[in-house]
C-alpha cells in the first residue's frame, strides 16, 4: 500500500478536526506542512496531545499551574509543616500581659500571632487545606448535580429539556453569591457542610447548561448518526457516544469554577456563614475575624486576603489557558 497519499490524507483530516466547525470553510489551508513533520512519527496526533504541546509553551498556563500546584501541595502537607498547632495559643500570655494585643513577628513566629495568641503562619497553612477542601468538594458536588441535570436535558430533549433548562435559567438569573448566601442562611446552624452545599448548588446550573449545550452539538455529529445507523440503543448512544465526547468543556470549566468557589467560600465565611469554629482556620473566616482590627493591624487581613487572591488567580489562569488550548475557535 502506498503510504504517502495516505498520510497526507489523514493529515488533512487531522487538521480538520483540529479546526473543527469554526474554520470548516477553509479546509484547503496551506499549513498542513507544519503538521507533516509530526505525522511522520505516528498516523495521527490526538486532540489532547496537540493541546498539551501548545500549553507547555504558554507562560500563562505555566504560572497558573505552578501557583495551583504549590497551593495544593502546601494544603496537603500543611499539618506536618505548620510550625505550631493552629488551635494552640502559645503567645496568649504575651497578649494578656503586654500592651500589644497582636504580637508581631518573633523567632519561631515569622508572621506573628493573632489576637488570641495563635501562630498566624500555621493558621494560614492549615487554612489552605480548609479552603482547598471546601472548594474541591463543592465543585465535585456541583459537577455531579450539573452533569445529572445536563445529561437529563441533553439526552431526552423535548419537555424534559425545557423543564430542566427553565429551572437552570431561573437559578442563573440570581447573582451567584446572593444565591449562595440565601441557601447558606437557610441552614439552622452554619457549618462547613452548609457552606459546601450552598456553593455546590450555585454551580449546578453552570455545569448543567454547559453540558446540555455541548451534548446538543455532539448529538448532531456524524458519528452519532453512524451509531444510530447501526441500531445502537438510545442509552448506549447517550452514555457511550454523546456524553464522553461532550465532557471536555465541562472539565475545563470546572477548573475555572474552582476559583470562584474558593472566593465564594471565603466570602461566605467572612460573612459568618461558614464554619463558626475558629480552631479550624479558614481564610475567609480569618479575614472576617480581623475586620475590627484592620485600622491598627492591617497585616492580619492582608495575609489571608493575599492568599485568596493568589490562589484564585492561579486557578483562573490555568483554567483560561486550558480552555483556550482546547477551544477550536482560538486555535491557530
Partner 1 sequence: MTETIENVNQQQSSTDALLSVRDLTVTFQRQGEQPFRAVDGVSFDVRPGQTVGLVGESGCGKSVTSLAIMGLLPHRGVTVEGEVLFQGTDLLKESNNQMRDRRGRDLGMIFQDPLSSLNPVVPIGIQVTEVLERHRGMSRKAATPVARDMLDKVGIPDPERRLKDYPHQLSGGMRQRALIAMALACQPRVLIADEPTTALDVTIQAQILALLRDLVQDTGTALVMITHDLGVVAGLCDSVNVLYAGKIVERGDRHPLFAAPRHPYTAGLLSSIPRLDAPRGERLTPIPGSVSDNLPWDHACAFAPRCPNALEVCREVRPELVDDGSRALRCHNPVEVNR
* Residue ranges in contact with partner 1 by CB under 8 A: 1-2, 5-10, 13-14, 16-17, 42-47, 221-223, 225-233, 236, 240-241, 244-245
CA distances, 272 to each of 251, 275, 289 (Å) = 31, 8, 9
Angle at 27 between CA 326 and CA 228, to 5 degrees: 70
Please state, in angstroms and rounded to a whole number, the distance separating the CA atoms of residues 264 and 47.
Answer: 33
Please state, in angstroms and rounded to a whole number, the distance separating the CA atoms of residues 242 and 294.
Answer: 53
Please state, in angstroms and rounded to a whole number, the distance separating the CA atoms of residues 282 and 198.
Answer: 17
Nearer of residues 28 and 173 to partner 1, judged by Cβ? 28
The least distance separating partner 1 from the CB of residue 37, rounded to whole angstroms, comes to 17
Nearer of residues 263 and 326 to partner 1, judged by Cβ? 326
The least distance separating partner 1 from the CB of residue 255, rounded to whole angstroms, comes to 20
Please state, in angstroms and rounded to a whole number, the distance separating the CA atoms of residues 329 and 326.
Answer: 9
Nearer of residues 7 and 323 to partner 1, judged by Cβ? 7
The least distance separating partner 1 from the CB of residue 224, rounded to whole angstroms, comes to 8
The least distance separating partner 1 from the CB of residue 118, rounded to whole angstroms, comes to 50
Half-sphere exposure of 280 (CA within 13 A, CB side): 12
Nearer of residues 21 and 77 to partner 1, judged by Cβ? 21
CA distances, 63 to each of 57, 132, 319 (Å) = 11, 19, 11
Nearer of residues 26 and 222 to partner 1, judged by Cβ? 222
Nearer of residues 188 and 231 to partner 1, judged by Cβ? 231
Closest by alpha carbon to 326, among 13, 37, 46?
46
Nearer of residues 45 and 164 to partner 1, judged by Cβ? 45
Please state, in angstroms and rounded to a whole number, the distance separating the CA atoms of residues 207 and 138.
Answer: 13
Half-sphere exposure of 128 (CA within 13 A, CB side): 27
Please state, in angstroms and rounded to a whole number, the distance separating the CA atoms of residues 80 and 86.
Answer: 12
Q: Scanning the structure block, which residue is given the C-alpha cell 472539565? A: 251
The least distance separating partner 1 from the CB of residue 232, rounded to whole angstroms, comes to 6
The least distance separating partner 1 from the CB of residue 5, rounded to whole angstroms, comes to 4
The least distance separating partner 1 from the CB of residue 28, rounded to whole angstroms, comes to 14
Amino acid at each position: 500500500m502506498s503510504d504517502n497519499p495516505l498520510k497526507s490524507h489523514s493529515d488533512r483530516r487531522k487538521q480538520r478536526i483540529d479546526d473543527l466547525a469554526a474554520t470548516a470553510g477553509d479546509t484547503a489551508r496551506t499549513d498542513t506542512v507544519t503538521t507533516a513533520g509530526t505525522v511522520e512519527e505516528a498516523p495521527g496526533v490526538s486532540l489532547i496531545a496537540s493541546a498539551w504541546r501548545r500549553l507547555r509553551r504558554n507562560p500563562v498556563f505555566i504560572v497558573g499551574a505552578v501557583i495551583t500546584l504549590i497551593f495544593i501541595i502546601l494544603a496537603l502537607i500543611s499539618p506536618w509543616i505548620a510550625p505550631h498547632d493552629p488551635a494552640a495559643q502559645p503567645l496568649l500570655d504575651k497578649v494578656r500581659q503586654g500592651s500589644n494585643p497582636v504580637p508581631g513577628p518573633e523567632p519561631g513566629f515569622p508572621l506573628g500571632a493573632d489576637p488570641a495568641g495563635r501562630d498566624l503562619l500555621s493558621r494560614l497553612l492549615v487554612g489552605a487545606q480548609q479552603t482547598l477542601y471546601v472548594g474541591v468538594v463543592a465543585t465535585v458536588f456541583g459537577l455531579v448535580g450539573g452533569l445529572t441535570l445536563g445529561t437529563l436535558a441533553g439526552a431526552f430533549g423535548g419537555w424534559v429539556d425545557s423543564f430542566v433548562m427553565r429551572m437552570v435559567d431561573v437559578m442563573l438569573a440570581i447573582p451567584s453569591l446572593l444565591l449562595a448566601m440565601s441557601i447558606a442562611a437557610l441552614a439552622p446552624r452554619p457549618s462547613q457542610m452548609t457552606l459546601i452545599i450552598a456553593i455546590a448548588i450555585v454551580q449546578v446550573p453552570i455545569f448543567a447548561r454547559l453540558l446540555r449545550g455541548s451534548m446538543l452539538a455532539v448529538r448532531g455529529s456524524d458519528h452519532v448518526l453512524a451509531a444510530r445507523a447501526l441500531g445502537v440503543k438510545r442509552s448506549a448512544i447517550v452514555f457511550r457516544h454523546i456524553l464522553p465526547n461532550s465532557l471536555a468543556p465541562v472539565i475545563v470549566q470546572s477548573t475555572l469554577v474552582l476559583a470562584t468557589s474558593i472566593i465564594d467560600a471565603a466570602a461566605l465565611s467572612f460573612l459568618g456563614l461558614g464554619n463558626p469554629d475558629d480552631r479550624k482556620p479558614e481564610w475567609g473566616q480569618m479575614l472576617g475575624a480581623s475586620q475590627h482590627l484592620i485600622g491598627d493591624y492591617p497585616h492580619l487581613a492582608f495575609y489571608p486576603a493575599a492568599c485568596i487572591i493568589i490562589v484564585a488567580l492561579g486557578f483562573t489562569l490555568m483554567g483560561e489557558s486550558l480552555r483556550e488550548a482546547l477551544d477550536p475557535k482560538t486555535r491557530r
